[in-house]
Amino acid sequence: MDADDPAAAARSAFWLGFHLINRGEAARGSGWFGRATRQLQRAEEDCAERGYLLLPVGYQKLGAGDLEGAVQAAVEAVEVGERFGDPDLLALALHMHGRALLRQARVAEGLALLDEAMVSVATGELSPQVTGLIYCSVISACREVWALGRAHEWTAALTNWCDGQPDMVPYTGECRVYRAEILQMHGAWGEAMDEARRASECFERGHEPGGVGLALYQQGELHRLRGELAAAEDAYRAASRSGREPQPGLALLRLAQGDPVAALSSIRRALAETKNPLRRARLLPAHVEITLETGELGEARRSWAELAEIAESCAAGVLGAVVAHAEGAIELAAGDPGSALAPLRRASQEWREADAPYEAARARALLGLACRELGDEDGASLELEAARAGFERLGATSDLTRLDDLTRRRTSRGGHGLTPREREVLAVLATGRTNRAIAEKLFISEKTVARHVANIFGKLGVSSRAAATAFAYERHLLDPPT
């Protein structure tokens, strides 16, 4: 300003606002953006800085849900960046345009623009601050649309870049969270936990409580998968205190703790608050699993249909495997194991191709149950043994326990393991009543009925009300308990 160079003053003010916004200081950042705009009003000639100041306008529109407005701001900023040959501006504008298109479910177009922005990153054309921001944001976008192959590729590149930028604390923390997610998916759970803990340390060092929440949630997921339920509870609660919604992990934890009613309430609440389709896609698979556990088959089907619709519009990554797994689980719970086989085999194959051993083992466990209900004991044995081996390698103790429960078939009339109250619940369930109707009939709470139904499924080794009813008739379990 002292040199009477309003464009240079505006650029300095923009970068001050940029850094403050990234640090979570929105009011101060907005103030500097306003000062930059005021300086440009004094500039007589067109300049690249006018393009820079389109960026906060575009992101404001993106946050407010004005996607067309965000796209328009991004397109104008791209034109300015190209005209003035400014690589930072061009990359930031392409990135914003791509994110807006993803929010419009124009996934292929959006990913193409993000890839174009990443070309400048990979060739070292950008300043370090812009490089770090685009790396992390592009990886986050790929995760949102389930383009995990892209996310893994860019995370490896980000890791190498962060190693050479030790002072870039925020990006190092996010990099470690992403690495933890990837290691978890590939079955390296011990290494994933180490990365998640290091991420917490990075965020704490950078005074970023929101980032700490991301890292703590990831730790909770790993604890839950390893059957460390008390530690998972602590991590999810700590993540919530840091501002990270602990769903769907917390709902799945309640299911693992034997409280399906609480699990269903949690996941329903989270879905009711979530409107963005891609964010709902993160919750819907858990909703299907929990509603099947509580016998809400119609609700599970509706969630699966929504998930399938999102996957069709998304057309990226492994979401198709998630949809196939949910479809197979629903058909199995509905008492149609024959229809469950094809989607479960497709899910199992896609998870193996993605090198996701835990998800592959879960699909094979359901395949084993479907084969067993079809009378194919050899096929059931092969699938269940493969699932067990997968869970054992990973240390998935909760899944091993559940697998034992589901596969424990009693062959004698007295060997079913049901309590007298469970026998009563089964007798009423076999008449086709809902959990609510059973509760009214037996004068107990619906929550208690749900717990009894889950125990019955486990002890009889079935996964649906129809299969439980058939098993009960076959084993004469509908007679009064003695």
- In tens, the pLDDT along 37-84 reads 999 998 878 899 999 999 999 998 988 889 999 999 999 999 999 999
**End residue of a domain, out of 212, 246, 280:** 246
Give the domain CATH number at 202.
Answer: 1.25.40.10
Strand, coil or helix: what is 146?
A: coil
Q: Among residues 246, 265, 298, which one ends one of the domains?
A: 246
Query: Domain for residue 457, yes or no?
Result: yes
Q: Which residues, in sequence order, are CB contacts of 254 under 8 Å at separation 6+?
A: 260, 262, 263, 266
Residue 78 lies in a domain: no
pLDDT of the residue at 408: 59
> Dihedral through CA 156, CA 159, CA 164, CA 170, nearest 10?
150
Average pLDDT over residues 320-341: 92
For residue 8, being part of any structural domain is answered with no
Residue 234 lies in a domain: yes
Residue 229 inside a domain? The answer is yes
Residue 256 lies in a domain: no
CATH number of the CATH domain containing 464: 1.10.10.10
- Please say which residue of 246, 272, 295 terminates a domain: 246
* 33 within a domain of the structure (yes/no): no
Read off the pLDDT of residues 406-428 as tens digits, 9 standing for 90 and up: 665 433 334 466 777 888 899 99
337 neighbors 331 (Cβ within 8 angstroms): yes
What's the total number of domains in the chain?
A: 2
Structure tokens at 285: 């698979």
Q: How confident is the model at residue 383 (pLDDT cuts 50, 70, 90)?
A: very high
Q: Is the pLDDT of residue 158 over 80?
A: no
Please say if the pLDDT value at position 250 is more than 90.
yes
- The string of pLDDT tens digits covering residues 426-481 is 999 999 899 999 999 998 999 889 988 988 887 787 878 888 888 888 777 777 65
Q: What is the mean pLDDT of the chain?
A: 88
Domain that holds residue 190: 168-246
* 414 is a domain residue: yes
Q: What is the pLDDT of residue 22?
A: 74
Contact 85, 120 (CB under 8 A): no
